[in-house]
Amino acid sequence: MYAGIYTRINASQVSLNLSEVVGKVTGEMKSNGYLPLFETRQARGLLLFRLYAASIFVDICFICFYRVSYFPSLQGKTERWVWIGMFLAELWFGFYFFVTVVVRWNPVFRYTFKNRLSARYDEEALPGVDIFVCTADPLLEPPTMVINTVLSVMAYDYPPEKLSVYLSDDGGSDLTVYALLEAARFSQVWLPFCRKLKVEPRSPEAYFRNIAEPVDDSVMAKEWLSIKKSYEDMKMRIETITKLGKIPADIRKEHKGFGEWDFVSSRYDHQAILQILIDGRDPNTMDMEGKPLPTLVYLSREKRPKYHHHFKAGALNALIRVSSSITNAPFILNVDCDMYSNNSEAIRDALCFLLDEEKGHEIAFVQYPQSFGNLTKNDIYGSSLRVVMGLELAGFDGNGGPCYIGTGCVNRRETLCGMKYSEEVKVAWRTMKNDRKNKESASVLEENCKVLASCTYEEGTQWGKEIGLRYDCPVEDILTGLSIHTGGWRSVYSNPERKAFLGVVPTTLLQSLIQHKRWSEGDFQIFLSKHCPFVYGRGKMPIKLQLSYCIYLLWAPNCFATLYYVIMPSFCLLKGISLFPKMSSSWGIPFLYAIFVNSSYGLGEFVWFGGTFRGWLNEQRTWMFRRTTSYFFAFIDDILKLCGFSRSAFAITGKVADDHVNQRYEQEIMEFGTTSPMFSILAALALLNLFSFVGGIKNVALDDVHITVFDRFGLQILLCCLLVFLNLPIYQGMFFRKDSGKMPTSVTYQSLTFALLACTIAMY
Binding annotation for UDP-alpha-D-glucose: 141, 170
Nearest Cα neighbor of 429 from 408, 412, 448, 411 is 412
Binding to ligand UPG by residue 173, rule CB under 6 A? Answer: no
CA 296/CA 177 separation, integer angstroms: 11
8 Å CB contact between 603 and 613 = yes
Alpha helices of 554-629 — where are they, by DSSP H? Answer: 558-575, 588-608, 613-628
How many CA within 13 A on the CB side of residue 739?
A: 13
Task: Please report how close the Cβ of residue 407 comes to ligand UPG at its closest, in angstroms.
Answer: 4
* Contact window for ligand UPG (CB under 6 A) among 2-10, 333-341, 600-608, 752-760: 333-341
Residue 329's binding partner, choosing from Mn ion, ligand UPG, none, with beta-carbon cut-off 5 to 8 A by kind?
Answer: none
Of the residues 356, 477, 637, 638, only one is catalytic, namely 477
The reply to whether 692 sits near ligand UPG by the rule CB under 6 A is no
Q: Is residue 216 among the annotated active site residues?
A: no
Nearest-approach distance from CB 650 to Mn ion, in angstroms: 11
Binding window for ligand UPG (CB under 6 A); candidates: 101-109, 486-494, 620-628, 649-657: 649-657
8/41 Cα distance (integer angstroms): 9
One residue of 474, 615, 695, 733 binding ligand UPG per CB under 6 A? 474
Judged by beta carbon, residue 509 or residue 719, the one nearer Mn ion is 509
Active site residue 356: no
- Measured CA to CA, the distance from residue 488 to residue 27 in angstroms comes to 24
**Out of ligand UPG, Mn ion, none, which partner does residue 368 contact, by CB within 5 to 8 A per kind?**
none
Residues 299-338 that bind Mn ion (CB under 5 A): 336, 338
Q: Which of ligand UPG, Mn ion, none does residue 515 bind to, with CB < 5 to 8 Å depending on kind?
A: ligand UPG
Computed from CA positions of residues 702, 708, 714, 716, in that sequence, does the dihedral angle turn out positive or negative?
negative
Is residue 659 within a helix (H) or strand (E), and if so which, with residue range? helix 659-666
- Non-local CB neighbours of 203 within 8 Å, separated by 6+ positions: 148, 149, 151, 152, 340, 341, 342
Terminal alpha carbon distance of the chain: 49
Distance CA 350, CA 495 (A): 10
Choice between 373 and 696, CB closer to Mn ion: 373
Instruction: Find the shortest distance in angstroms from Cβ 506 to ligand UPG.
Output: 8
Q: Which does 406 bind (CB under 5 to 8 A by kind): ligand UPG, Mn ion, none?
A: ligand UPG
Provide the mask over 338-357, with x wherever binding to Mn ion is found by CB under 5 A and - wherever it is not.
Answer: x-------------------
The binder of 312, among Mn ion, ligand UPG, none, by C-beta within 5 to 8 A per type, is: ligand UPG
DSSP assignments along 350-378, one per residue: HHHHHT-TTTGGGEEEEEPPP-BSS--TT
Query: Which residue's Cβ has the minimum distance to ligand UPG?
Result: 406
Q: Which does 135 bind (CB under 5 to 8 A by kind): ligand UPG, Mn ion, none?
A: ligand UPG
d(CA 504, CA 466): 31
Element spanning 501, H or E: strand 501-502
- DSSP annotation of 336 reads E
Out of 59, 130, 170, 174, which one is annotated catalytic?
A: 170
Separation between Cα atoms, residue 217 and residue 488, nearest integer Å = 54
* Site track for ligand UPG across 311-330, x = CB under 6 A: xx--x---------------
Single out the segment in contact with ligand UPG by CB under 6 A; choices: 297-305, 459-467, 515-523, 572-580: 515-523
What is the Cα–Cα distance from 450 to 452, expressed in whole angstroms?
Answer: 5
Stretch that binds ligand UPG, among 97-105, 128-136, 324-332, 576-584 (CB under 6 A): 128-136
Close Cβ partners of 25 (under 8 Å, ≥ 6 residues apart): 18, 39, 40, 41
Which parts of this chain interact with Mn ion (CB under 5 A)? 336, 338
Which parts of this chain interact with ligand UPG (CB under 6 A)? 134-136, 141, 168, 170, 311-312, 315, 336-338, 406-407, 474-475, 477, 515, 518-519, 650, 652-653
